[in-house]
Chain A
Amino acid sequence: KAGVTQTPRYLIKTRGQQVTLSCSPISGHRSVSWYQQTPGQGLQFLFEYFSETQRNKGNFPGRFSGRQFSNSRSEMNVSTLELGDSALYLCASSLRVQTSTDTQYFGPGTRLTVL
């Protein structure tokens, strides 16, 4: 079974631009969560989508948004990029049969650099 895939793997943008990252979950998985990983803050939860609806949201500004499609694939968008948005963005998928108990499987991440 193929794992979680994320595209692109690397991205370089300049301040003020916007960016869209893509995540394809494991086949059959209906929940997709997004996390930001930085050396200073570690892994921080951005949001979770299930059945095309945002179910949980972390403490990030409104510049960070996402969506999920009917095939469970998800995208996240960051508008008006800031230098501090440079990070590894990780996507995780799970079956979400039972809340909080399902294993989350992570993709390799998208490394975003903002210049």
Chain B
Amino acid sequence: QKEVEQDPGPLSVPEGAIVSLNCTYSNSAFQYFMWYRQYSRKGPELLMYTYSSGNKEDGRFTAQVDKSSKYISLFIRDSQPSDSATYLCATSGGSNYKLTFGKGTLLTVNP
């Protein structure tokens, strides 16, 4: 079983839609949860960062972590064509500095 599972999609939505992206993880030691966005031919850029369980909101983006079910979510409201990218969930925990990534979900927002 992979440590972090993410549906690769692809996911195609119309402009203005609410997008829900999800990951599950298996290691209870994970405490830090991140969402990265990667445009084609670019490196990943950090979108959201959450410690332990709870919600975090930043503009149109909301990250949720449910440690009891080991479930991570990213919601994008009023999606825009510029949101079209691959979204990667990532986790880390304990004393090591290694990020464990999901495989990424390719999102296309159609005008």
Contacts and interface: CB of A to CB of B under 8 A. Distances in A.
Main secondary structure of the interface of B (DSSP, over half): loop
Main secondary structure of the interface of A (DSSP, over half): strand
Contacts of A108: 41-43
B51 interface: yes
A52 to B, nearest CB: 15
B46 interface: yes
Interface residues of A, number: 28
B2 to A, nearest CB: 9
Nearest to B2: A42
A44 B88 CA distance: 12
Contacts of A44: 101
Contacts of A45: 98-100
12 contacts: A42-B88, A42-B103, A42-B104, A44-B101, A45-B98, A45-B99, A55-B96, A56-B96, A96-B97, A104-B46, A105-B45, A108-B42
Interface of A: 4, 31, 33, 35, 41-45, 48, 50, 55-56, 58, 90, 92, 94, 96, 99-101, 103-109
